[in-house]
Structure formats: structure tokens, C-alpha cells
Structure 1
Amino acid sequence: MQDGPKRVTTTGDSERPNGARLFDYYLGGAHNFAVDRALAEESISKFPVAEIARTIRSFSRRVVRLCVEEYGIRQFLDLGSGIPTAGNVHEVAQSLDPSCNVVYVDNDAVAVAHARTMLRDNLSAAIVLSDICDVGAVLRHPETRRLIDFTKPTAVLMVGVLPYVTDEPAGVVARYRAALSEGSILALTHLTKDVEPEFVGQLVDLGDDMGFELVPRSKQDVEEFVCGLKLMEPGLVLAAHWRADGEVPGTSAIADASTYGAVGMV
């Protein structure tokens, strides 16, 4: 393993690949280094991980537009956001209504450092360095309290993050849901273990190589996470097809089938 890629750390130095910067590269962002690009290209050559990233981001964009245009929501909590790169929540929401407030949350100091640089001139968007499983800390954080009033409808996005929650993810989702007022929306995606087990196993192995645990789950597992929400049509389906309206971003069949998505109202 001496000749392989170095493991991710939170020091942010340019000689170590970082998961948030890899995702940024997959999405065509500019917040990545040569070491990230090398590992990203290596992974892309083996399986369609970039297509999965684009599928997840496309789902997020559709949800944000829906929240702003159809439900009048003007405040967003994006959990496990990574670097808010191409097509991020605040760009989409604020392009529709500049009054929208966005709080990103991530436990990766590298992602947070990049994001703070990106958001320094945007008083209506901020990022919080916190573990999303520490719900109280996230909700009580000064930046969260500055930008989000939970007595008003809020959109909580858990897009791409739940496979990294290894301990009682349903409980984590439930605690955020309990903090929301009527008319709020919760959206999530999740890597599935129901199809293409070899491919999913490769993704899990990539996570191991990067130093983090990735847990795929069944549709039945994910149904538990959204229990109690009023699911919007078409319910819990493949994220690539959730109200896609022709926006499916050219994914491969394997990438298309890899991720569930759902949106529900409190």
C-alpha cells in the first residue's frame, strides 16, 4: 500500500486526497487538487461514481426548486453538504429568490474551510462544522440560529449523507423531523444494496480506501427513515427518476439504479 493514495485527513494539505474535494471534482467544480483528480480519475475508470454524484446533485436541485417555487420555503438546512460546489443549494435557491437563507453542515474541516472561503461575501449562507448526528449542536449553532427560524417552514436536505451514518440513522432523521414546523420538507437519498451488489461493494471498498465507512441499505430500511412523513409523489423511488422531467443527467444504468430518493412534508 506504500505506492497507493494517502488516506484522507482533515488537515487539508494538497498532498492527501479528500472525499469532499473528490465529490467536487466529480461535479466539475474547481475546489480540488491534483492528488484528488488523480484518485477521482482512477475511480471513474473502474465504475460510474461521477454519474452517481451528478444524479444526487440533480435530485438536490429539483428539490430546492420545488421548495422555493411551489411551497414558498425560504430557508434550507443542508446536512453533510461537503463543499457547496456546482449547482449547490444556495445558488439554486437564491437565483429564484435572493431572500433565501442556507445553512450547510459538515464534519470535514477541509470542506468547511473551502466553503467558508466561497461564502464569505454571502450573508445569507453559512457553513457549520459539526457532526450531523449531534442534532442539538447543529440546531443550536449560532449560524443556524442566525439564518433559520424553525417556527417557519424549513427544508432539511439529507442528500448523499445517510450512508455515512452508521449508528441509528432512522433516529437521526427523526430528531431533525421533530424540530420542524408544519409545512416543512425533508428530502433524502440513500445508496441501495438491493441491486448491483458487486458495484455497491466496489463503492464500499473505495470508502474503505479513503478511510470512511459507507453503509448501503435496502428500500425497506430507507422506508423506515421516512415513516411519518407525507411523501410527495412518486414516493420513495430511484433518485434519478424522482420528478426528473427529462433532467436525468445521462447516468449509466448501474448508476441510475444505485440510489433511492424521497421527499416528504412534515
Structure 2
Amino acid sequence: MAEEERANAARVYDYMLGGAHNLGSDRDTARALLADFPWLQRIAWENRGFLARAVRFCLDQGVEQFLDLGSGAPTVGNVHEIARARRPGARIAYVDIEPVAVEHAHELLAEVDGVTATRADLRRPADVLASPGVADLLDFSRPVAVLVVAALHFVAPDDDIAAVLAAYRSVLAPGSLVVVSHGSADQDDPELAAAMDTITAVMAASETPAYSRTRRELADLFADDPGLELLPPGLVDVTAWPAPEQREPVGVYAAVARVP
């Protein structure tokens, strides 16, 4: 199968959320996954719900600029619609490496001022930050929210994600926020742990393999960076941020940190 025809996580995610910016290979992969693991769609929606809550939290903190890394196509519940429902002047820079997602984003955003889509690799912060869609839109002398939601688990272990996050954090003004969610097989529930391991194994054959990290590895991203202050409730399942809910966890950890 040609590379451009292989299933891609961003487009599979779009399909599971009910979006239209996906290819036949993505739909086939999503349907096959859902046939065996119907709860995968709940993971997608719970992660999207976390994103919406986090964006509103950022707005409540007075942050109206967003750098959305690994954004995929601006699909159901996208950042600019959530943010601008409260702050019409909010600025959003979407960044993704996947060409089809960025092409669709350009189509969707052609008539939208103050929102850009850039094709770039989040693992190369200097390139991302220097791109016109980011540098010409966001004012880094003021607080910016960096969103890395359901994206870091597609960064391979050989890539130093702590250094990647630190590079973005280093350009952020005080009061800026960093929002992260990351799938993990390190779960108290053995059935959930096995399910997350299965997802990792299935995605290994896709264009965008996923990698699990432990709770300690994820917590250390914040604990080891003195430039970030982890906010309550700390590192929790996406269903429990910002407050515990009476819902089953889905195996995706979430955290929000502030640049003090």
C-alpha cells in the first residue's frame, strides 16, 4: 500500500469523531478497530471533551492565544470554535505534519481571520516557531496556551519529548499554559492496561505508530522542568480533569501546567 494510502491516526481520529476529513484506508482501519474494540470511540470523545474543557480553562486564565501541536484536521469540537464562542478575537495556530489534514484545514479556514494551519513537525520546535503561520500570528510576549493533546504518544521513544516540550516552554511568557494528553498502558485496571497495549500493537502497522509511556515518565515531564508548574489535579485520566467524575477511565492521562 502506498504511503499516502496507509491509515493515519489523525484521520482515523477524525472519523471516530464523526468528521469528514478522512480517506478510505482510515475508515477501513477505524471500522476494523471499532468492530473489535467499540470502546475506542469513547476514548476519542473523552479526549475531545478534555480538549474543550482545557481550552475554556485557558480562556478563564486570560489566555486567548493557542498553539495546537499535532492538531490534525480542525474536526468536530475544534479549538477555534470553542475559543471564539467566548473570545471572538482568540488566535489559533494549528500545526500538523500530516499533509491531508493540513490541506483540509486550509480549506476550512480560508475565510477565517486569526486562525492558521501549518504543516510542520512538532518535534522541531525551531521550525514550528519560525513558520509564518505561527510567528506572524501569535505574540509570544503575551501568554500562549500550547496544546499537545493526543499527539505526544505518536513521538517515538528515541525522540526526547522532554527536550521538545522544554523548547516550546522556553519561548513562553509568564502565565502561559501547556496542555498535554497521552495514552498509556500503565493503568491500575489490568483490563484497561491490556486494551491500551492492544491499541499500541494495532497502530504499529499504521503510518503513525503510537508509543506508550508510564505515568512516571509523563509526570517527570513536568516535575523535571522548573519552568513549569503542574496545576491541580495533577496528572489524571482525561475523564477526571479538572475534577473527578463518576466515569470509567479511558487510559489517556491529562495534565495542564503553567509557566510561573
- Normalized against structure 2, the TM-score is what? 0.90
C-alpha distance in 2, partners of 1:18/1:133?
18
C-alpha distance in 2, partners of 1:184/1:146?
18
Aligned to 1:238: 237
Aligned to 1:197: 193
SS of the residue corresponding to residue 193 of structure 1 reads coil
- Pick one of 119, 123, 138 that aligns with 2:128: 138
C-alpha distance in 1, partners of 2:6/2:199?
19
* Matched-pair contact (CA < 8 Å) for 2:193–2:251: no
Question: Which has the higher mean CA deviation after the structures are superposed, 84-93 or 48-57?
Answer: 48-57
Structure 1: 5+ residue stretches without partners:
1-5
* Matched-pair contact (CA < 8 Å) for 1:157–1:186: yes
C-alpha distance in 1, partners of 2:13/2:151?
12
Whether 2:169 is the aligned partner of 1:177: answer yes
**Mapping for residues 85-124 of structure 1, pairs under 5 Å:** 85-124=75-114
Whether 2:74 is the aligned partner of 1:84: answer yes
- Pick one of 19, 40, 59 that aligns with 1:29: 19
Aligned to 1:222: 218
C-alpha distance in 1, partners of 2:128/2:208?
21
Deviation at 1:32, TM superposition (A): 2.5
Deviation at 1:192, TM superposition (A): 1.4
C-alpha distance in 2, partners of 1:245/1:65?
17
SS of the residue corresponding to residue 219 of structure 2 reads helix
Aligned to 1:259: 252
Q: Identity over aligned residues, as a percent? A: 36
Deviation digits for residues 34-85 of structure 1, max 9, x if unmatched? 44323212101212222111111111100111111x2111110000001110
C-alpha distance in 2, partners of 1:140/1:32?
29
Aligned to 1:3: none
What RMSD in Å do the two structures reach over aligned CA positions? 1.8
Matched residue type, 1:21: R
C-alpha distance in 1, partners of 2:209/2:15?
21
The structure-2 alpha-carbon separation of the partners of 1:262 and 1:174, relative to structure 1 and needing over 3 Å to count, comes to same
C-alpha distance in 2, partners of 1:212/1:138?
20
C-alpha distance in 1, partners of 2:25/2:126?
36
Deviation at 1:171, TM superposition (A): 1.0
Structure 1 segments of 4+ aligned residues over 4 angstroms from their partners? none
Matched residue type, 1:86: V
**Mapping for residues 50-65 of structure 1, pairs under 5 Å:** 50-65=41-56
Deviation digits for residues 194-221 of structure 1, max 9, x if unmatched? 1233212211122112133311111100
* Matched-pair contact (CA < 8 Å) for 1:75–1:147: no
Matched residue type, 2:63: I
* Matched-pair contact (CA < 8 Å) for 1:75–1:101: yes
- Normalized against structure 1, the TM-score is what? 0.88
Structure 2: 5+ residue stretches without partners:
none
C-alpha distance in 2, partners of 1:215/1:124?
33
- Pick one of 128, 141, 152 that aligns with 1:162: 152
SS of the residue corresponding to residue 181 of structure 1 reads coil
